[in-house]
Structure 1
Amino acid sequence: MKNLKSRVKRTVDIARAAGYSVQQVRNLERDGVLPPATRTATGHRSYGEIHLHSALAYRALAAGTGPTEAKRILRTVHTGAIDEALAMLDAVHARLHTERVELRHAQRAADAISAEPIEAVHSADAMTIAELAEALGVRPSTLRHWDIEGLVRPERTAQGARRYTPTQVRDVRIVHQLRKAGYRIEHLRTVIPQLRHADGAGDLHSALAARDANITARAGALLDGAAALSAVVGAADARSPDPSLLGRTRAVAIRAA
């Protein structure tokens, strides 16, 4: 690891420290994730601290938001548009927060339907909208609204009348219960497809737990990425001192804290 403490690093040094292959490091430079390397008299690449920190930042950000967005953020940082890069990072955090909020709604919905025997629809016959509305104690217009909103889309007869299969009756019962529990239509658009494709409440809870773990891992990766971005900006300041960048460096550090 001696080379990592020196000012000049080889391609292989960056690769080993960042967990990439030599070719991947070259590709990152080509894609603008790393700033252009200097060249020795013999044409070999020479890298510095900013390249190492950029590679580490990209690795973390790619895990948190995907490679495309991570590349955009690093390229923006290297152009000196730090404020723009921070805004992009803020947008990533906002999207992750939205996912977390939706997940919490889905988890509460899963808890709410645990006592609802969704498999307990025994009738082999489809129900008309009037029959289903009467069974649930709601107006037919409510079922039409849920259809328009895409929550439960019944089949149609040749005459265009709505007919609900047993599976669709089950879905309507779930929607009805969650609506009574206070769930809004926009939240149900996210929740219902998950409930529809889950094989029972147990599998649904497992799927939601896996999604929760994924969000947590991505949030941790973004935290690492923000810290690495702070180091990138600091390394850039060291290469080309500019007092006007000091506040921006601190802004990145604050986001990483």
Structure 2
Amino acid sequence: MTTAALGRLVGYSSQQVRDLERLGVIPTAVRGANGYRLYEQRHIIALGTYRALAAAIGPVPARQLLPTLLASTLDEAAEMIDELHAAIARDRARVREARRGVDTVLTEAADAFDEHDAMTIGELAQALDVRPSALRHWEHEGLVSPDRITGSQARRYDARAITEARMVAALRSGGSPIPPIARILSQLRETGLTMEARALLDERLADLSRRSIALLEAASHLHALLVAREPSRPPVIR
């Protein structure tokens, strides 16, 4: 079929089809005597796989993965597909840990603080298992506000700054971007409310569940793609 016919069949424009072919997402089309591209069933399968995979992991990762999948052995392809599921599982575990971390921070924030428990940037970075550069970046973004030791530029993290840093660390580990974290910290400073912090992580968990189900749907397309690529060797997807 022609480029336009293939595009109509899968819901893409002719230019999108040509771009995906150029990127290696679909196999290179043969050319007819007139120089026009001629697409086959395997191209329909490849485009269907891309659409399903993009819904599960995002368009950019899907465009990066499919050319590698098409060029890999069956064992390598199976391992890459396994890793997609494993990555979602790891993300879910991080978000759940972040959810627990947020609750812990909020519970302990009301505890009495001994000024002798104030931390340096190195001590706090070690306690949070982050780099000192991360703490400096969070300070630059207005997320954490340490004091400065009199007579020097050394940072001193008191109870408020430690709580802020722990909250940022928990939310960042759950995959939350900086702008909503800044909004949540502003809310905490003003009212002490925490619903948005919890809701942010709950939304992240819901999105991971959606991606997991979408990846299950994409598995049937991936199976068809691998069969079309090597019909004499039916693949076993672990």
TM-score (norm 2): 0.70
Q: What is the distance in 1 between the residues matched to 2:229 and 2:65?
A: 15
State the shift of 1:72 in Å: 3.8
User: Is residue 26–residue 47 contact of structure 2 (8 Å, CA) maintained in 1?
Assistant: yes
Counterpart mapping for 1:41-52 below 5 A:
41-52=33-44
User: Is residue 60–residue 225 contact of structure 1 (8 Å, CA) maintained in 2?
Assistant: yes
Q: What is the distance in 1 between the residues matched to 2:61 and 2:227?
A: 21
Q: Residue type matched to 2:77 in 1?
A: A
User: Is residue 171–residue 181 contact of structure 2 (8 Å, CA) maintained in 1?
Assistant: no
TM-score (norm 1): 0.65
- Distance 1:168-1:191 versus aligned 2 partners, 3 A rule: farther
State the shift of 1:10 in Å: 3.0
User: Is residue 52–residue 214 contact of structure 2 (8 Å, CA) maintained in 1?
Assistant: yes
Q: Residue type matched to 1:205 in 2?
A: R
1:233 maps onto 2:226 in alignment: yes
User: Is residue 132–residue 169 contact of structure 1 (8 Å, CA) maintained in 2?
Assistant: no
- Structure 2: unaligned runs, 5 residues or longer: 136-145, 188-192
Aligned to 1:220: 213
- Distance 1:164-1:187 versus aligned 2 partners, 3 A rule: closer
Counterpart mapping for 1:10-89 below 5 A:
10-89=2-81
1:168 maps onto 2:161 in alignment: yes
Aligned to 2:115: 131
Secondary structure at the aligned position of 1:93 is classed as helix
State the shift of 1:80 in Å: 5.0
State the shift of 1:230 in Å: 0.7
Describe the superposition over 1:40-90 as per-residue Cα deviations: whole angstroms up to 9, x where unpaired: 332332222211111111122223333443234322333352222222222
User: Is residue 53–residue 228 contact of structure 1 (8 Å, CA) maintained in 2?
Assistant: yes
User: Is residue 99–residue 198 contact of structure 2 (8 Å, CA) maintained in 1?
Assistant: yes
Between stretches 87-96 and 68-77, larger displacement belongs to: 68-77
- Distance 1:156-1:225 versus aligned 2 partners, 3 A rule: same
Describe the superposition over 1:68-115 as per-residue Cα deviations: whole angstroms up to 9, x where unpaired: 432343223333522222222222222211110011112233444565
**What's the Cα RMSD here?**
3.7
Describe the superposition over 1:163-218 as per-residue Cα deviations: whole angstroms up to 9, x where unpaired: 3456315447x68xxxxxxxxxx979726988964234111122112212221222
User: Is residue 119–residue 158 contact of structure 2 (8 Å, CA) maintained in 1?
Assistant: no
Give aligned pairs, total.
211
- Distance 1:83-1:163 versus aligned 2 partners, 3 A rule: same
Between stretches 60-69 and 99-108, larger displacement belongs to: 60-69
Aligned to 1:90: 82
Q: What is the distance in 2 between the residues matched to 1:23 and 1:162?
A: 54
Secondary structure at the aligned position of 2:194 is classed as helix
User: Is residue 109–residue 191 contact of structure 1 (8 Å, CA) maintained in 2?
Assistant: no
Aligned to 2:173: 190
- Distance 1:147-1:160 versus aligned 2 partners, 3 A rule: farther
State the shift of 1:162 in Å: 5.4
